[in-house]
Amino acid sequence: MSRAEPLYRPPPDVLRLPLLGRLLKHRRGRLLFQIPLLIVAALLIYDGFTGEQIASRNLATVGAWVHYRGVVILALLLAGNLFCMSCPFTLPRTLAKRWAGRGGRFPRLLRNKWLAIGGLFLIFWLYEVTDMWASPLLTAWVIVAYFIAAFALELLFSESPFCKYICPLGAFNFAYSTLSPLQIGVRDPKTCQRCVGKECLNGSYSPQPVILVDQIGEAPPIQHDSRGVLGCGTLLYAPQIKSNMDCTLCLDCARACPHDNVILGVRSPLRELGAPRSLPRRWDVNFLLVALAFMGIVNAFGMVPPVYALLREMASALGTNAEWLLLLIIFLIGSLALPALLSIGAAWLANALTGKKQHPRSLRDTFAAFAPAFVPIGAGIWAAHYGFHFVIGALVIVPVFHNFLLDHGVTLFGTQVNWKLGAVIDAEQFAVVQVILLIGGYLLSLILARRIAAREFGAARAQLAFLPYALLFLALLLAAFFIFSQPMEMRGTPELDGLFH
């Protein structure tokens, strides 16, 4: 007797919601989110180049360094990769595609996350060295550079190499969207097996209306018109998606599927990270997850007084006052060397403690298996940090925008600018939220690591494999508590510039 196949039940689908679903899947649906952000980006660039060069009074610095970062981490944890979905930098994509046709593939050697990890390191280091947060002009140039890079790479290559391999913001969003409650999937995998065109991946970019040769019939087929639709820019194939990594949530796949088979399913935030092989067992992808947790610590460390004490010590020990060099050493050690050393060390220890000889396992397998467990603690650290700057400076945007309008002769809201506006809640109240975020992230990381240890090493050896990671997460938590208990620089916030006690 043949065993019956388990019945596949698709999860609840956001794209089926009455109004929102239609809006998201509409041909111009993404534009509705991108155009407001494009206008915001244009305002930031304009004010950055022409406005008052004071961080706390310029839209570029306040918008980019106070608001963007706080909103992005919140959106990732509550919904998904909403920034990439609304990303104005990808707006030139369609234009570039129409000009360039399909283009070639990105060089094989660079088809990984090493460039993005390098980009993240570079941007965090440059942010400190150049005091980017204090320079509206520099911030505006960074935004312009983003537009140029995204457009040029779309023009040259068939996939979206900027989003997938280079963009540091995208790499951050991809990493933490693995914890998001929404994920692309399909309603009926059998429909995909019989689908000929695989339009979710290939698109139906044709000068003529597409002729369907696979009249499957489960759902009324959607006829694409002569304007065609793009397939997945980052080359993900909807029925095989197990992870949010590389998904920009652009929903092109949902628009392209002629069988209306793509869903935006609701899932448990820990599902992907706890599942085996939802992410490839590659050094680059998994190191991104580990390094970001450490980068969260180093990024916050750059804004508290002990960093200055350390810089002084290093300057006298090394006999140099070159701040760029001293910061480079701190960032290299904290963001790249330490995560590599400690996470590979933990993997080696887990293998050694559980009897490598009797149960041989490669170092990479153990490293990659545990890397997803670094995501919750990393997300907790970033949310505690960026959330803090956001709640303390959220209302600053009101006087800054008011002042911007006045500078351009618009007196719609009167002529009195209230520069006192700033915090939504005070720092002491948010300290409680920070503790919850840090401990919550730490506990979720422990739960994941314990699950992974049991799955990979079996119940009898799970405790031993788990031990090095439990210690490593505890060290990260203590480092985070130390940093967040220090007075933090409030950058780009009027009245609060300087240390916040």
Catalog residues that contact ligand SF4 under the rule CB under 6 A.
184, 186, 191-192, 195, 198-200, 232, 234, 236, 238-239, 247-253, 257, 259, 261-262
Structural contact between residues 61 and 55, judged by C-beta atoms closer than 8 angstroms: yes
CB of 161 to ligand SF4, least distance (A): 13
CA dist., res. 260 & res. 25, Å (int): 10
Q: Is-contact 267 11, C-beta < 8 A?
A: yes
Q: Which is nearer to ligand SF4, 252 or 272 (CB)?
A: 252
Q: Which residues of 37-52 are buried (b: 16+ CB within 10 A; e: fewer)?
A: bbebbebbbebbeebe
Q: For residues 59 and 236, which CB has a smaller minimum distance to ligand SF4 in the complex?
A: 236
Q: Output the six-digit token pair for 444.
A: 């979720």
Q: How far apart are CA 360 and CA 364, in angstroms?
A: 12
- Rg of the chain over Cα atoms, rounded to whole angstroms, equals 24
What is the DSSP secondary structure assignment for residue 279, as one 8-state letter?
A: S
At its nearest, how many Å lie between ligand SF4 and the CB of residue 81? 8
* Closest approach of ligand SF4 to the CB of residue 374, in Å: 23
Q: How far is the CB of 185 from ligand SF4 (least distance, A)?
A: 9
Nearer to ligand SF4, 55 or 200 (CB): 200
Distance CA 49, CA 325 (A): 29
Nearest distance in Å: CB 189, ligand SF4: 8
* CA trace torsion 356, 337, 64, 106 (10° rounding): -70
We find the least distance from the C-beta atom of residue 13 to ligand SF4, in angstroms, to be 13
Crossing angle of helices 168-177 and 374-393, rounded to 10°: 120
> Do strands 488-489 and 262-266 pair parallel, antiparallel, or not at all (unpaired)?
unpaired
Q: Which one, 193 or 358, has the nearer CB to ligand SF4?
A: 193
Distance between alpha carbon 181 and the CA centroid of its chain, in Å? 14
Cα–Cα distance for residue pair 399/13, rounded to 1 Å: 40
Smallest distance, ligand SF4 to C-beta of residue 343, A: 28
Which two three-digit tokens encode residue 491?
């950058």
**474: Cβ contacts below 8 Å, ≥ 6 apart:** 442
Nearer to ligand SF4, 253 or 330 (CB): 253
Closer by beta carbon to ligand SF4, 81 or else 139:
81
- Smallest gap from Cβ 133 to ligand SF4, in A, equals 31
Minimum distance, C-beta of residue 111 to ligand SF4, in the bound complex (Å): 16
State the residue number with the nearest CB to ligand SF4.
195
189 versus 440: smaller Cβ distance to ligand SF4: 189
Closest to ligand SF4 by CB, 14 or 325: 14
Judge whether 253 and 93 are in contact, CB under 8 Å. no
Residue nearer to ligand SF4 on the CB measure, 169 or 369: 169
> Minimal distance in Å, beta carbon 190 to ligand SF4?
10
Residue 251 or 417 with smaller CB distance to ligand SF4: 251
Q: Which residues are registered as beta bridge partners of 266?
A: 182
Min separation Cβ 103 and ligand SF4, Å: 17
SS3 408: coil
Question: By C-alpha distance, which of 236, 241, 272 is closest to 252?
Answer: 236
- Give the Cα separation of 312 and 323 in Å (integer): 10
Whether the CB-CB separation of 289 and 372 falls below 8 Å is answered with: yes
Closest to ligand SF4 by CB, 210 or 465: 210
Return d(Cα 335, Cα 299) in angstroms, integer. 9
Question: Of 152, 184, 209, 244, whose CA–CA distance to 25 is shortest?
Answer: 184
CB of 386: closest distance to ligand SF4 in angstroms?
24
The number of C-alpha atoms within 13 Å of 468 and in the hemisphere containing its C-beta is 22
Instruction: Give the span between the Cα atoms of 415 and 410, in whole angstroms.
Output: 9
Looking at beta carbons only, is 69 or 187 nearer to ligand SF4?
187
Q: Residue 410: count other Cβ atoms within 10 Å of its Cβ.
A: 10
